[in-house]
Structures are given as C-alpha cells and as structure tokens.
C-alpha cells in the first residue's frame, strides 16, 4: 500500500539505526507509522510504501518498507516545511516572509536562483547561497531512499551510502550499480546484478565481473577464510555470472594491478585476497615481529628471586612448565601460553600480575567477549575489559564500515597486556589490538587452540603458533586437583580422540560428570525438562535461573536452541496474568525470561548497586554474550528492564529488542569464553559440519561444577573421531615465516 501525508509527530527516533515511530497525517486520517526512516524531521511530507499491521499492544500501525520525501503541495504546507528547521538559517518568521515574497515560485528560487532570497531583510547574499545549498542537499537526499529500494537496500543503509557518495549518489550508482557491493555489508548481489543487466549492462562487462570477484571475496569471510585459491575463485565467479575464464582472469590481473585485490604466490600457488584482509595479515605479522624484537624495556631484573619470594608468600609450588611460562614473559616481549582446562593458565596469569604490579608496572587484562572478560575478572580479582571497550572501537560497528586498516584505535596505556581466550580473536580484532600497542609493551596471548575458532575470519592463534616465530609455552600437564575432576579428565580424553572414562577408571574421582545415553529426541527433551524442573534442585540445590545452562550444537531442530527455548520457557516461566509479555515476530518475551545480548551496544546506559549496601556504579555498554533476565516490561513507556548476571540494570526501548534472544538454551559457539556452574549439553543428529571434536570439547569445558551430557552415543562417538574441522584459508603463518 502507498500513503502520502505530513509527518506531524515523531514519537521515537533511534539516531544510530534510524528506526522511527511517528504520526502521518493526510486528508482522511492520522496514522501511526513505524520503520527505518533516516533523514526525517517533524513537518516533512512523505510517501510511504508498506502494509497495515495489528500490534498486540498498540493496535493498527503502518509498517513502512520504503519511503521518499515529497515536496509540500500547498503554500501553507511549504511554509510549515521551511519552518521545521530542515533548512539551515530558516525559522518560522523567515519562512513566512519567503512564502509571502515568492509564492508559487518558492521552490524554483531555492533550486535555481537562491541569491534572490537576499531580497528579504536580514538575509545576506552569502546566507542566501547557503540556504539554497541546504535546500538542494535535502532534495538530493529525498530521492535516495526510494531509488535504493530498487536494489533491496533498506533505508538504514541508504544513510551510510549517502555519507560516502554525497550529492552524486544516484548518478554514481546509475553509472555503476555494482559499487553497492563495496558500500553495503551483506547486500543482495543478485538484485544488483539483475537491475544492472536490465538497464543495459552487458553480461561480459568488466565492471560486472570485477564486482563478482569482490563479492566472492566478501562471501568467503563468512566461512572464516581470509583468502581463496585463484582456481576456486574463477570457478565460483564463472558459475555466478555465466562468463568466460579468460575474462575473469583479465579482471583479476587488472584488480591486482590497481591494488583493489591482492594475488599472493605461495610455492607456485596463487591465493587471492581482498586488499584490506591482505594488508591486515601483513600488518599483524610485521607488528608482532617488531614488538617481539624491540628492546625488552619492561624486563624485571632479579626475576627468579621475585618468583621464589612469591611462591613462599602464596605457599604454592609452580610446575616446571608454569615457571617456564612466567620467565618467558619476562625475557620476551610477545609470548603465547596455550593449554586445555586444568593445566594452570590462570595461576600463571595471577603470578604475572602480582610480580609486575609489585614493581609498579601496569598490567591490563582483556578478552574478546563480555562473558570472557567477566570470567577473567572473577579468576584474577582484577578488572578485565573486552577488546572492543579497551580499544574504544564501537564506532566501527555502528558505521558499518568495511575498512579495518585506517581506523585509529585508542593507544593502550600498559606495560603488560594479557589477552585471554585468544583463540576467539579474529583478524579484525587482532589488527586493531596491535595498532593500539606501543612498542616496548609486553603482549601475552592465552588460549586453547583446540576450541572452536573465531566467528570472524582468520585462524590467528593457531597461525602464530604454527609459524614458530613467537615464543610459545604448551601446557600439557593436568594438575592434581584438576585431575580429580571427571569433567576435566573426560575433556582431555575427547581432545585426544578417546572415549570417556569407564567405571573402573572413574573410581575415586569427583562425581561431576554424568552421561545419559538416549536415542530418542523426545526422551532427551524429557530428560532436560526433568533435570531443570527439580532433579538438579534435589541433587545439589541447583536452581535453573541461578546455576544451570543448556547447550546445543545447533539452532535448528527439536533439540536446537530455538525449539528448546520455546519449550523451556513454557515449562520454567509459563504464561501468567501477573507477568507482562511482549511479542517480537514469532517470539514472546515475558517478565522472568532468561535472555542474552547478541550485539555489542556501546551506548546503552546501565546502573548497578544502591549506594547503601552495595556500591553504586553506572556506565554505558552491554556486549554480545552477556546474560540476564527480563525484570519488567513497561507498556506505557514502551521499554523493558533487563538485570544482567553481574547485576547491571538496563532499560531497552521496544524497538531495540532485536538485540536480545532467549537464553534458556544457547549454542556452544555462543557459550565459548563463558563458564557455568552446571551445563546440560544435548547431542543428537545434526549437520556433520557441526558435529566435530572441537565443538564437543568446547561444550564440555564450559562446566565448572557439574556436567550432564544427554546424547545419542553413536553421534557422540562420531564427534570424538570427527577432526574434520573446516580448515581456514589464511596466510598469516606464511607471512610470519617470511620475515627474517
């Protein structure tokens, strides 16, 4: 449907993503409109295209798919438009004078003869020109949203495109629609290609082929790759565009010469990169070697005595490998410490903090996710930040930028930087991190390479270790206390490709691991519900909302997180007349629900503590992976209150609820970097791509006190043997080895 009218009121407007709730008035009615509508101010005249929907709480609304601004039809409405502050330097009094002076010719005066505005008292010629430019700029912006909808580009992205291309946006895209691939993340290539071909582009046009190449290089990053074999790229582009290999090769050479892509020859094999990812790998390799080979300015002399003193004070004897790791940090500028659970990584971190702090050195702790940073704080008693927070790089995500090379990160004021869960760090984060480290600062990367790789592209920790260019300590001894835990022993057995302990081998070990074998998915679901609804309470006084987390390898199917969340909500937080709820799409959110933040939000305000019994704190920022519960749903103010696990309280507008998901059950990928008192892990048939040894190992190592595995034994055995983890195409190891 199409509606036309004046936006007489803006009820809500999100400055970051341009989501708007407003009232549109036309001759027949006043209508509530909702949708992503950048550039709008009260008083604008617009044409909106979309559909009426019935909202559970707010009744009939018009959901806008796309819109365009239109010029006001009458002099009265034009005066209102000029009065609303859109045109720089014009208020209500000046608008009245302009309309009185120029009448029906007002728009032409602004567009073609703005200097005539100086006829009005108080407007200089310079001011008149500025007013004309402002009017024309707004006119240009008006056209863009409607035009870009032809390519499946929504209004939210239209704003970013205009920022980059300016007033020539439409001309530039008309000339080459394929530039949208460079400008919009996740753009629909098929729609752009169809539009271009329908509007005169030849199937063999080199702009089209070059765009297909760039699009393919963006697509590979979704699977974690930084580069691809040239022959594979040619085959993909040939099938995508139905063009000849010769033309693709010609375009590859041209793009390479113009440095829009990079072709790297390794042992007579050509690997193709987007320019930014190639530059990032080069930058990471160079920065690591430069950092490591710099003068060891932070070295502590008499370090061995310091270590002995610390051991006496703490009454703890370090293992030979732990001592080696701590000494390596003193004698090297960059060190990697890698090992599985129970191998003493935390003890090393604590000792390093103690020694360097005693000598007045500043140690900064950080991790890739909010949950991992929180766990680091709990383990060490020292504040740990997320890498995003430490480097102040929230703006990158907000602006939806592609570039990762030229972004200025905040330099880190530190003598020693320790990064935990380093296996989760992708190429983007590592590039930002190294750009923020002063030469002379020590960098310690701590992680477990046998866990799942980073969500983003790259295989950073593994590549650095494999290069053998950076001092690496492998922790392979399980400490006595940890060796009493069935969770830890079985995790290591899985990692070594072995089945779980048998009854005889379990003797004398802590009863913290239970394996319930079930073939039927229905029975597995029954077990999960029964455990959560009382059995674990009776067994160890474990409360679901306090201690227990369900993990699944997948989102799909009866035992995927989507269905598990629905079922567990029904069982553990059922519909209740005393509890408010809010429907978002197919999902109902209810007061009392467990939820997870699924995007980094750097701006959201939070508070914690009451200032009397608990210290009051406030700040901004809730990060991907943080868990909490919905405490209140406020229909009047259209917002919900979430209390997070670390007691932060934050209010979310209803329009920001796309940032949360139910978290009764979460995927193993989402759980990485976190620990929970009790983990119930459900394993049934799924895609072999997900049923891998490192996914099972990662899930098992999320449990602190108790692990219950409910699974089909054949599938579990398959996972233990399935080391077919997708190998990522990267070149960091090669680049590090090439540096003399």
pLDDT at 395: 45
CA distance 252 to 263: 8
pLDDT at 709 over 90: yes
Lowest mean pLDDT of 159-163, 426-430, 587-591, 684-688, name the range.
159-163
Average confidence score pLDDT of the chain: 88
pLDDT at residue 142, rounded to an integer:
65
Residue 143 pLDDT more than 80?
Answer: no
Q: What is the mean pLDDT of residues 447-454?
A: 90
pLDDT at 49: 86
Region of 326 (left: φ > 0; alpha: ψ -120 to 50; beta: rest) is alpha
pLDDT at 17: 67
**Model confidence at 73: pLDDT above 60:** yes
pLDDT single digits (tens) 95-120: 899 999 999 898 889 888 989 999 98
Range 345-351, long-range pairs (CB < 8 A, 24+ positions): 345/446, 345/475, 346/379, 346/380, 347/316, 347/318, 347/322, 348/322, 348/446, 349/376, 349/379, 349/380, 349/418, 349/420, 349/444, 349/446, 350/379, 350/380, 351/307, 351/310, 351/318, 351/322, 351/326
Question: What is this structure's pTM?
Answer: 0.79
Return d(Cα 521, Cα 559) in angstroms, integer.
Answer: 7
Q: Is residue 400 pLDDT above 50, yes or no?
A: no
User: According to the model, what pLDDT value does residue 308 have?
Assistant: 85
Dist. CA 575–CA 519, nearest whole Å: 31
Higher model confidence: residue 238 or residue 81?
238
The more confident residue out of 398 and 86 is: 86
């Amino acid at each position: 449907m199409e509606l036309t009218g004046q936006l007489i009121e803006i009820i809500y407007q999100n400055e970051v993503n341009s989501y708007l709730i407003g009232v549109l008035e036309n001759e027949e009615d006043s209508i509530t409109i909702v949708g992503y509508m950048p550039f709008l101010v009260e008083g604008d005249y617009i044409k909106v295209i979309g559909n009426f929907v019935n909202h559970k709480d707010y009744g009939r609304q018009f959901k806008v798919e796309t819109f365009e601004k239109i010029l006001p039809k009458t002099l009265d409405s034009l005066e209102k438009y000029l009065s609303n502050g859109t045109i720089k330097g014009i208020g209500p009094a000046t608008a009245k004078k302009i309309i009185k002076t120029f009448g029906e010719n007002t728009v032409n005066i602004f567009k073609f003869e703005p200097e005539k505005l100086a006829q009005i008292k108080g407007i200089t010629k310079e001011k008149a020109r500025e007013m004309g430019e402002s009017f024309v700029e707004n006119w240009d912006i008006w056209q863009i949203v409607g035009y870009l909808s032809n390519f499946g580009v929504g209004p939210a992205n239209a704003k970013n495109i205009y920022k980059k291309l300016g007033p020539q946006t439409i001309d530039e895209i008309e000339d080459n629609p394929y530039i949208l691939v460079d400008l919009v993340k996740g753009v629909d290539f098929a729609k752009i290609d169809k539009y271009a071909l329908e509007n005169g582009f030849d199937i063999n046009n080199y702009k089209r082929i070059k765009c297909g190449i760039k699009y393919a290089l963006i697509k590979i990053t979704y699977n974690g790759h930084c580069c691809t074999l040239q022959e594979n790229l040619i085959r993909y582009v040939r099938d995508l565009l139905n063009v000849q290999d010769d033309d693709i090769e010609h375009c590859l050479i041209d793009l390479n010469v113009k440095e829009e892509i990079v072709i790297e020859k390794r042992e007579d094999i050509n690997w193709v990169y987007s320019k930014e990812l190639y530059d990032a790998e080069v930058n990471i390799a160079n920065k690591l070697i430069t950092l490591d080979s710099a003068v060891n300015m932070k070295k502590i002399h008499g370090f061995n005595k310091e270590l002995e003193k610390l051991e006496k004070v703490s009454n703890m004897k370090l293992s030979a490998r732990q001592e080696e790791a701590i000494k390596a940090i003193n004698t090297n500028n960059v060190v990697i410490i890698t090992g599985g659970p129970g191998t003493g990584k935390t003890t090393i971190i604590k000792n390093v903090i103690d020694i360097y702090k005693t000598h007045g050195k500043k140690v900064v702790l950080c991790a890739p996710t909010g949950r991992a940073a929180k766990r680091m704080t709990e383990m060490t008693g020292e504040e740990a930040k997320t890498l995003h927070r430490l480097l102040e790089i929230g703006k990158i995500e907000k602006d939806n930028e592609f570039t990762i090379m030229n972004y200025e990160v905040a330099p880190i004021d530190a003598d020693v930087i320790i990064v935990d869960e380093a296996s989760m760090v992708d190429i983007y984060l590592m590039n930002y991190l190294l750009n923020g480290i002063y030469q002379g600062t020590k960098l310690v990367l701590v992680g477990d390479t046998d866990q799942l790789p980073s969500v983003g592209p790259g295989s950073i920790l593994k590549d650095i270790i494999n290069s053998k260019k950076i001092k690496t300590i492998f922790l392979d001894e399980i400490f006595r206390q940890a060796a009493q835990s069935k969770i830890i022993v079985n995790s290591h057995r899985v990692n070594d490709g072995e089945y779980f302990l048998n009854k005889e081998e379990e003797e004398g070990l802590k009863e913290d691991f239970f394996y319930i074998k079930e073939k039927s998915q229905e029975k597995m679901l029954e077990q999960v519900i029964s455990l959560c609804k009382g059995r674990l309470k009776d067994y160890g006084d474990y409360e679901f909302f306090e201690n227990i987390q369900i993990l699944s390898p997948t989102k799909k199917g009866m035992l995927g997180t989507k269905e598990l969340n629905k079922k567990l909500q029904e069982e553990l937080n059922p519909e209740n007349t005393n509890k408010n709820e809010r429907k978002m799409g197919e999902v109902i959110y209810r007061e009392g629900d467990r939820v997870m933040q699924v995007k980094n939000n750097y701006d959201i305000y939070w508070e914690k503590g009451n200032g009397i019994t608990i210290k009051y704190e406030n700040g901004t920022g809730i990060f991907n992976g943080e868990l909490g519960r919905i405490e209140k749903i406020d229909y009047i103010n259209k917002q919900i209150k979430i209390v997070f696990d670390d007691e932060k309280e934050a209010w979310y507008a209803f329009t920001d609820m796309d940032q949360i998901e139910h978290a009764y059950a979460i995927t193993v990928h989402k759980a990485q970097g976190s620990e929970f008192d009790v983990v119930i892990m459900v394993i049934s048939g799924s895609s072999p791509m997900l049923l891998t040894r490192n996914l099972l190992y990662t899930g098992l190592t999320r449990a602190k006190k108790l692990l219950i595995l409910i699974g089909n034994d054949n599938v579990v055995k398959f996972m233990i043997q399935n080391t077919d983890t997708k190998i990522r195409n990267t070149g960091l190891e090669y680049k590090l080895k090439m540096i003399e």
